[in-house]
Amino acid sequence: MLTKRFETKLIHSVKKGNLPIRSKVTPIYQTSAFTFDNLEDLEGYYQGEGNYLYSRTGNPNPDELGQMVAAVEGAPTGIATSSGLSAILAGILTVVKSGDHIVAADDVYGGSFHLLHEELKQFGVETTFVSFGDLEQVEKAIQPNTKMLYTESITNPLLRVENLPAVVELAKRNDLITVVDNTFATPFHCNPYELGVELVVHSATKYIGGHSDITAGVVVGREDLVEKARAKVTNLGANVSPFEAWLTTRGLKTLAVRMQVQSSNARKLADALRNNPNIARVYYPFEEEATGFGAMVSIELAKTVDVSQFFRSIGWVKLVPTLAGVETTVTHPLKTSHRALPPEAQEALGITNELVRISVGIEHSEDIITVFEQAIEKSLK
């Protein structure tokens, strides 16, 4: 069999539809339902003979997105959902029910924290949050009713790289399912399924879509679990629209070229800012030399810099509470993603007023470095 490398799989992982009209790209199946010629065909659908019935239960565009991400993650199958958060919800509900317990990393995405800590708690699912930097703490938090370990391959905003093989080993030893949010690393840099993680979830709103024009999510992983997650998505109405799924697959085809440039630009920016005396600290996974490790860089401005003035001085860089587009953007985690945390938790996690999170884009690396160096110059106290 002809083997395909990552970049090739991005473009050629999914077979074309079997319609007689042979369009080069998959068309948008902007329809809420599908027709049948007769009762036998309808019965065939229920016997698993293919075709589609109703778009909430299945549509070629979301299916293509789920299959494409599965192919590049090295997982057998995948499904698309309406958002990253609904992908996370579907993944979690696939594994736990009322009365079960989850051990989650204490530095997960704010929305995931809220989902676990507020929403799922009301339905009898308890979560203990601990630092996954210390796996002894994780092991100690496991209870007789624990079913799942939940973490992220790279965390937000301090970009801690999870030791996934060690997490998986711990999970397997305790008979737990591991669910990992791979949004920041993307399938280009990290394939948790190949490391033994049973379910991988993504906010496709970020790098997979890549152009800040959709909201979508993906769950990929072990076939039996993904099929259960598919039922959750159908029953909860968490399906993504055909058009958004179509835009997301269009974005996904260029993931490799975008990530190469964005990660390389991020590395150059992180190196340049590391030597700037007005920056107290640069957060970037510098040790991941071989592949680079993503396009997010966080910086802690030194006390010599006026933080408000800095955000007024960043030129063409937009202040926007998302990440992963082709444009370089910044956020202020203390006042956005981590706003709701109690001050002690903010401090414990290192979320200070001086912390700036940068999502590095595809502009020229020298221009990106210059815009930040000038912003710092212009905002010295």
Ligand X SMILES: *Cc1c(COP(=O)(O)O)cnc(C)c1O
First to last CA, the chain: 63
Handedness of CA 205, 10, 57, 241 (dihedral sign): positive
Among 205, 212, 241, 278, binds ligand X (CB under 6 A): 205
- Between 55 and 183, CB nearer to ligand X: 183
Of all residues in the shown chain, the one whose CB is closest to ligand X is 84
Our finding on whether 206 is near ligand X (CB under 6 A) is: yes
Our finding on whether 181 is near ligand X (CB under 6 A) is: yes
Please report, as residue ranges, which positions from 93 to 152 form the binding site for ligand X (by CB under 6 A): 109, 111-112, 152
- Between 183 and 298, CB nearer to ligand X: 183
What per-residue string of b and e applies to 113-149 under the rule 16 or more CB within 10 Å gives b? bebbeeebeeeebbbbbbebeebeebeebbeeebbbb
Among 29, 113, 129, 184, binds ligand X (CB under 6 A): 184
Smallest distance, ligand X to C-beta of residue 298, A:
13
Q: d(Cα 281, Cα 266) in Å, to the nearest integer?
A: 15
Of 31, 49, 32, nearest to 40 by C-alpha is 49
| Pairing state between β 126-130 and 146-152 | unpaired
Those residues with Cβ within 8 angstroms of residue 135's Cβ, 6 or more apart along the chain or in another chain: 163, 166, 167, 170
Smallest distance, ligand X to C-beta of residue 136, A:
25
- Map residue 351 onto helix, strand or coil: coil
Judged by CB under 6 A, the stretch of 35-43, 199-207, 231-239, 311-319 that binds ligand X is: 199-207
Our finding on whether 248 is near ligand X (CB under 6 A) is: no
Handedness of CA 109, 81, 256, 262 (dihedral sign): negative
Our finding on whether 215 is near ligand X (CB under 6 A) is: yes
Our finding on whether 255 is near ligand X (CB under 6 A) is: no
Our finding on whether 262 is near ligand X (CB under 6 A) is: no
Judged by CB under 6 A, the stretch of 176-184, 240-248, 299-307, 352-360 that binds ligand X is: 176-184
- Between 208 and 375, CB nearer to ligand X: 208
Q: Which residues bind ligand X (CB under 6 A)?
A: 83-85, 109, 111-112, 152, 156, 181, 183-184, 203, 205-206, 215, 217
